[in-house]
Amino acid sequence: MWTFETMMSEAAGWLDASGPEPDVVLSTRVRLARNLSGETFPCCSSDQEAEHVRERILSAVSKCNYLTNALVLRMEDVDAVTRRVLVERHLISAAFTEDGAGRAAIAGEGELVSAMVNEEDHLRLQCIRSGLAPVDAWRLVERIDSELERNLHYAFSSNWGYLTACPTNVGTGIRVSVLAHLAGLSRTGRIAQVLKSISKLGLSVRGFYGEGSAAQGGFFQVSNQTTLGQSEEDIANTVERVAGQLVNLEHEARSELTRTDEHRLEDEIWRAWGILANARMITSAEVMDKASSLRLGVALGIIDAPDLAALNRLLVVTQPGHLGRTRGETPSARERDIARADLVRRSLAGLN
Amino acid sequence: MKCERCGRGTATVRYAEVVDGSLTTWHLCEECASERGVTGSLTSLAGPLVNILMGLLEGGGGAEPVDSGPTCPRCGLTYEAFRRAGRLGCGTCYETFASQLKPLLRRIHGSTDHTGGVPSTDEGGHFRRREISKLKRELTRAVAAEDYERAAELRDTVRARERELGSTETGDVDV
- The rounded distance, in Å, linking the Cα atoms of A217 and A215 is 7
Residues 6+ apart with CB under 8 A from B6: B29, B31, B32
Give A74's Cβ-side CA count (13 Å radius): 11
Subunit contact A157:B89, Cβ cutoff 8 A: no
DSSP character at residue A217? T
Higher pLDDT, A83 or B43: A83
pTM: 0.79
State phi, psi for B77 to the nearest 5 degrees: -70, 135
Q: Tell me how far apart the alpha carbons of residues B86 and B81 are, in angstroms, rounded to a whole number.
A: 8
Partner-chain residue, chosen from B49, B115, B121, that has the shortest CB–CB distance to A229: B115
pLDDT tens sequence across B13-63: 666 655 555 556 667 776 666 666 554 433 333 444 555 555 555 544 444
Alpha helices (H) along chain B: 30-35, 48-57, 79-85, 91-96, 98-109, 126-144, 148-167
Query: What are the respective helix, strand and coil percentages of chain B, to the nearest 5?
Result: 45, 10, 45
Cβ-based contacts under 8 A for chains A and B: 150
**Long-range contacts of residues B80-86, Cβ cutoff 8 Å, at least 24 apart:** B83/B50, B83/B53, B83/B54, B83/B57, B84/B45, B84/B50, B85/A43, B85/B50, B86/A166, B86/A167, B86/B47, B86/B49, B86/B50, B86/B53
Contacts of A172 in chain B (CB under 8 A): 114, 116-117
For residue B145, how many C-alpha atoms fall within 13 Å in the half-sphere facing its CB? 11
Torsion angles phi and psi, residue A36, rounded to 5? -85, 140
Residue A140 CB coordination number (10 Å): 17
Q: Using CB atoms within 10 Å of the CB of residue B73, give its burial: 0 to 12 exposed, 13 to 18 middle, 19+ buried.
A: exposed
Q: What is the percent of chain B where pLDDT is above 70? A: 58
Q: How far apart are CA A41 and CA A39, in angstroms?
A: 6
Contacts 24+ apart (CB under 8 A), B8-16: B12/B41, B12/B43, B13/B38, B13/B41, B13/B42, B13/B43, B14/B42, B14/B43, B14/B51, B15/B42, B15/B61, B16/B42, B16/B48, B16/B51, B16/B52, B16/B54, B16/B55, B16/B61
pLDDT at A252 over 80: yes
Give the largest Cα separation in chain B, rounded.
Answer: 68
Closest Cα of chain B to A112: distance in Å?
A: 22
Residues comprising chain A, all counted: 352
Q: Are A288 and A316 within 8 A, CB to CB?
A: no
pLDDT digits (tens, 9 = 90+) for A93-126: 999 999 999 999 999 998 999 999 999 999 999 9
Contact check, Cβ <8 Å, B89/A40 = yes
* Regions of chain B where pLDDT drops below 50: 39-48, 59-65, 169-172, 175
**Tens-digit pLDDT profile for residues A297-333:** 999 999 987 899 999 999 999 988 888 876 666 678 8
Q: Scanning every residue of chain B, which has its alpha carbon at the shortest distance from the alpha carbon of A200?
A: B20
* Interchain pair A170, B94: CB under 8 A: yes
- Per DSSP, the residues of B125-136 read -HHHHHHHHHHH
Angle of CA points A280, A281, A286, to nearest 5°: 120
Angle at Cα A84 formed by Cα A213 and Cα A59, nearest 5°? 110
Q: Which residue of B has its CA nearest to A143?
A: B120
Confidence grade of residue A339 (pLDDT, cut at 50, 70, 90): very high
- Looking at every residue in chain A, the average pLDDT score rounds to 92
Which residue type does A243 have?
Answer: A
State the number of CA atoms in the 13 A half-sphere of A350 facing the CB.
Answer: 2
Pairwise CB contact (< 8 Å): A149 & B90: no
Task: Determine the 3-state secondary structure of A142 from DSSP.
Answer: helix
Nearest to A155 among B108, B172, B174 (CB): B174
Q: What is the mean pLDDT of residues A29-34?
A: 98
Region A197-216 average pLDDT: 75
A41 with B90: Cβ contact below 8 A: yes
In whole angstroms, what is the distance from residue B149 CA to residue B166 CA? 26
C-beta of residue B123 within 8 angstroms of C-beta of residue B174: yes
Q: Taking residues A211-228, report their average pLDDT.
A: 82
Burial class (CB in 10 A: 0-12, 13-18, 19+), A248: exposed
- For the segment A134-190, what is each residue's pLDDT rounded down to a tens digit? 999 999 999 999 999 999 999 999 889 999 999 999 999 999 999 999 999 999 989
> Is-contact B92 B72, C-beta < 8 A?
yes
- Residue B115, classed as helix, strand or coil, is coil
A30-34, A85-89, A224-228, B27-31: segment of lowest average pLDDT: B27-31
